[in-house]
Structure 1
Amino acid sequence: MSSNARDVQVQLVTEIRDEDRREKMEVNEPGRFFTKGETQVLTFTEHPEEGDPINTMITVKPNHVSIKRSGGVDMRQVFQKDLETENLYHHTYGEFHMKTYTEELEYRSLEQASEGRLYLSYQMTLNHEVTQAHRLTLTFEEESES
């Protein structure tokens, strides 16, 4: 890993909406943030109440975000504004085909502010059937030296 890696505190809020239902999930975990050229990477491990830990790696390049998760689930999701991307989501309960259409992508790095922020608004279709509106807000800030 890069020598400019920093310890950060990560807060990930995911909101899912469809016609008559809203679901909100929040994750707070310690993580690591580092930069290599124009690429910035944030890693952390989710510890869900049920199931195995999930290692998450978020890679941000100009106009391109990739979220790779492994462990309890296995997936790689790519976000590019105004584009549709596809991938497979491997879960304990089976495999799902995912289509993601990114409507909004905003990113502010730790180089620009004391708190980094990634905001994604997208439509996701599972198995060619159910389309839901998703919002993902990820904030992270450097751990304070105490």
Structure 2
Amino acid sequence: MSGKDIRVKLVTEIREADRKEEMTMSESGQYFSRGDTEVLKFTEHPDEGEPIQTMVTVKPGHVSIKRTGGVDMRQVFQKQLETENLYHHTYGDFHMRTFTDQIEYRSLNEANRGRLFISYQMTLNHEVTQRHRLTLLFEEESE
């Protein structure tokens, strides 16, 4: 499975009541494709804490995001379904419930800029529910 070097831009929006928070980061990474599965790998370098290795796996109707390093979690997105997982963080473990409203995906095989958009609701520790929008833009690194 040969990879392509890519540039990744990740935009995360979180809404809770009347509060909105937006985070943007840009990293270089790699893109792999085999059959109907595509994988994006990149390392996040947060201002505080250890680097986080992120692996995004996209299959028809199913996206999974696995993060290891500074945090440890695996989140699964399936349209109109609820999934559960644990989020291991320096500050402790959190229980996460994710309900996915929408997934849109444009592959690098179809266009020179790939795009993954996920809109979902996440409940942390059975208490706070927040609306999230994740947009991942990626394109091949120019030589």
Q: What's the TM-score once normalised by structure 2's chain length?
A: 0.99
Between the aligned partners of 1:75 and 1:25, the Cα distance in structure 2 is 19
Partner of 1:34: 32
What are the ranges of 5 or more consecutive residues in structure 1 without an aligned counterpart? none
Partner of 1:82: 80
Between the aligned partners of 1:36 and 1:114, the Cα distance in structure 2 is 18
CA RMSD of aligned residues (A): 0.5
1:21 Cα shift? 1.1
1:20 Cα shift? 2.3
- Secondary structure of 1:30's counterpart equals strand
Partner of 2:59: 61
Matches within 5 A, 1:10-25: 10-25=8-23
- Secondary structure of 2:111's counterpart equals coil
Between the aligned partners of 1:50 and 1:135, the Cα distance in structure 2 is 23
Percent identity of equivalent pairs: 71
Q: What's the TM-score once normalised by structure 1's chain length?
A: 0.97
Partner of 1:45: 43
Between the aligned partners of 2:12 and 2:54, the Cα distance in structure 1 is 14
Amino acid across the alignment from 1:31: G
Between the aligned partners of 1:72 and 1:9, the Cα distance in structure 2 is 21
Partner of 1:109: 107
After the TM superposition, list the runs of 4 or more consecutive aligned residues in structure 1 that deviate by more than 4 angstroms: none
Number of positions where the alignment pairs a residue of Structure 1 with one of Structure 2 = 143
1:127 Cα shift? 0.2
1:88 Cα shift? 0.2
What are the ranges of 5 or more consecutive residues in structure 2 without an aligned counterpart? none
Partner of 1:70: 68
Between the aligned partners of 1:85 and 1:60, the Cα distance in structure 2 is 16
1:9 aligns with 2:7: yes
Between the aligned partners of 1:12 and 1:122, the Cα distance in structure 2 is 16
Amino acid across the alignment from 2:103: L
Between the aligned partners of 1:6 and 1:31, the Cα distance in structure 2 is 8
- Secondary structure of 2:80's counterpart equals coil
